[in-house]
Structure 1
Amino acid sequence: MIIDKESIEKIAHLSRLELDETSEEKMLKSMNEIVEWVAKLEEVDTEGVAPLTHMTDEQSVWREDIAKHTLSHDEGLKNAPKHDKDFFKVPKVLD
């Protein structure tokens, strides 16, 4: 498969890109190199190779997400510099 100038223009239009002549030529060269590289990958014999879902055999090291003791509402507000009965008060950020 070879990507031509018409394909580049169509892709640019769909991507909402405005390419000048120089950029089109660079994009055309780059995309054809990518297509050639993918074609090389098709030459690799993958018979009997199981598909991968991850690139390594490492297992998850994360702990189970188990709820433990949490702060009560009052404990959470206790050290807040400013608060009312239910909420933290913070300085206004947006006008």
Structure 2
Amino acid sequence: MSDIDKATVAKIARLARIKIEEDKLEPLAGELNNILGWVEQLDEVNTDDIEPMSSVVDAKLRWRQDEVTDGDKQASVLKNAPNAEYGFFAVPKVIE
């Protein structure tokens, strides 16, 4: 198990640009050591015969036909635009 000390926590805080007061470094070192210990416990679990999964529920997605169900709404959409040209929204130029 790797042991994180106050100096390591101070270095990590400096690299992350996080201001941590001196009296908070020791408790943070203990918390980080607990987290790393828990990760090492997880590493001991045998997962050789376990298939990867994206969810704990074995659910299948329903497939549907890929077909257009609406469309030809360009004119009705563009009538709400403050400015439209050539069938598109017209926006002011940002970069000159």
CA distance in 1, matches of 2:61, 2:39: 31
Deviations 1:21-60 (A, max 9, x none): 232123112101101111222232323223x241333233
> Which has the larger displacement, 10-19 or 20-29?
20-29
Residue of structure 2 equivalent to 1:45: 46
Higher strand share goes to which structure?
Answer: 2
CA RMSD of aligned residues (A): 2.9
Structure 2-normalised TM-score? 0.63
Q: Match of 1:73? A: 74
Corresponding residue pairs, total: 86
Give the gaps of 5 or more residues in structure 1: 90-95
DSSP 3-state at the match of 2:59: coil
Q: Which runs of 5+ in 2 are unaligned?
A: 92-96
Match of 2:55 in 1: 55
1:26 aligns to what? 27
